[in-house]
Amino acid sequence: MSGGLLVAGTTSDAGKSVVTAGICRWLARKGVSVAPFKAQNMSLNSFVTREGAEIGRAQAMQAQAARVEPTALMNPVLLKPGSDRSSQVVLMGRPVGEMSARGYHGGRQAALLDTVVGCLEELRSTYDAVICEGAGSPAEINLRRTDIVNMGIARAARFPVLVVGDIDRGGVFASFFGTTALLSAADQELVAGYLVNKFRGDVSLLEPGLDMLEGLTGRRTYGVLPFRHGLGIDEEDGLRVSLRGAVRESAVAPPVGEDVLRVAVCAVPLMSNFTDVDALAAEPGVVVRFVDRAEELVDADLVVVPGTRGTVRALEWLRERGLADALARRAAEGRPVLGICGGFQVLGEHIEDEVESRAGSVDGLGLLPVRVRFAREKTLARPVGEALGERVEGYEIHHGVADVRGGEPFLDGCRVGEVWGTHWHGSLESDAFRRRFLTEVARAAGRRFVPAPDTSFGTLREEQLDLLGDLIEEHADTDALLGLIENGVPGGLPFIAPGAPPAPPAAGTAAAPERAKEAL
């Protein structure tokens, strides 16, 4: 087979990630050997592969949908924002430095094209099909010259492009037409057609518009996916609905009841891997909400301070909003607090940071006997251990090195009273450990909550990935999709309007990551 497809979008958050995952699961269920690929991802939600490489969590989720082990080849370039204007560049799973947006798009991005094409070709030589995910919109004409993730990679691989549009936002026909019309003739040749996402209502009412769109563009629509709640799993960024739809924004009050456990997550700046709380939200009787005011901690049974790409900035934010004092009061009253990664560092006594914020010496909240020093080398690991008498698996992504000077051992961190801290992301996905931890929280909070004995986070995740596969299988023209993947772009697609983007960089041969690193 050795085919492929690029799933692009009319906008960010049009549904590219879940559509890519759905196609991967549909193909995997058909017995097709398939892998996901995203040349360049911008996200604070990342994952560590078994070989110790950092990639976007969305690509790890898509690999699970494809039933394959995630690798750095699936996301060779990861950008982790540190501000509105700069990001840490992670190349082939390892950080290679900070760079401004202007510096990255000013030519260095194009130097990575050989590397990402090389990764894609290696995947194509291993799998029957590769399903690529684009980023943002392919019609961002200001960035087209240096594009390596949308039409740049499609041109290099000669992959057909399926453009996804979120009809729930409105204007989907204009978005499809405008996206295509803004592309150059050479780029338009690869745009095979469209996929409508998040439709509510009677599809027959949409069909006249789809026919008109085909008449205007010469391109068909390959499916209309219905709106489904809670499918945004492992998104790149932004607060989200969890597995059971229990993650809520702070304005939503949790239900009242002695058998309900209420979890408040501090919505710190540059929050990373907020997916850590998904496993809590998957538990029946646990309500999770994101908060940004001190008064919202008052009725919480557990407060989570999550990971962040800006530990010192998060510390300042907690103090400015009165949340730091509220956390200190909770600790003094013996009410549960959990710090994960950057949140763990914030709870310590002292931070020495000449790497991330370059703020130098900063006092932490002093709730745990821990001193943190930021190292230039990032820790990337997949640890396995034991806590509360149960086996725990997790993953680590951090520059801060913790010197734990007391308390009870807790994974790689410690516990003092009801304040817990660890660098381990994903630990709450270990079912037996999560149940024991929530039992401890309920006891300290004086709640009658008892964790369900049979909740399996892994099973729930598999069920959700199957739902994504069902969406594709039941609501897309799968025969036509398979034809695209196997045979490439249909011939005779018309040029519908003069495109104005500059010529893209020429695709070269695959280069070693070291060559791309030198360009950075």
What residues are annotated to the active site? 341, 425
CB atoms within 10 A of CB 30: 12
318's enclosing H/E stretch is: helix 311-320
Strand partners, 379: 398
- Which two three-digit tokens encode residue 457? 């986070």
CA–CA distance, 235 with 456 (Å, rounded to integer): 21
Q: What are phi and psi of 179, to 5 degrees?
A: -60, -45
How many residues make up the chain in this entry?
Answer: 520
Alpha carbons within 13 angstroms on the beta-carbon side of residue 362 total 25
Residues sharing a CB contact under 8 Å with residue 285, sequence separation 6 or more, in sequence order: 259, 260, 261, 449, 451, 452
Strands, sheet with 34-37, edge to edge from the N-terminal-most edge strand: 34-37, 129-133, 3-9, 161-166, 191-199, 220-226
CB atoms within 10 A of CB 84: 7
**By C-alpha distance, which of 490, 472, 486, 489 is closest to 2?**
486
Task: Spell 9-21 as b/e; 16+ CB within 10 A means b.
Answer: bbbeebbbbbbbb
CA–CA distance, 418 with 7 (Å, rounded to integer): 46
DSSP state of 476: B
| Helix axes 457-475 and 57-66, enclosed angle (nearest 10) | 70
Place of tokens 């690991």: 381
CA–CA distance, 19 with 301 (Å, rounded to integer): 36
CA–CA distance, 157 with 485 (Å, rounded to integer): 12
For the chain, how far is it from start to end, CA to CA, in angstroms? 36
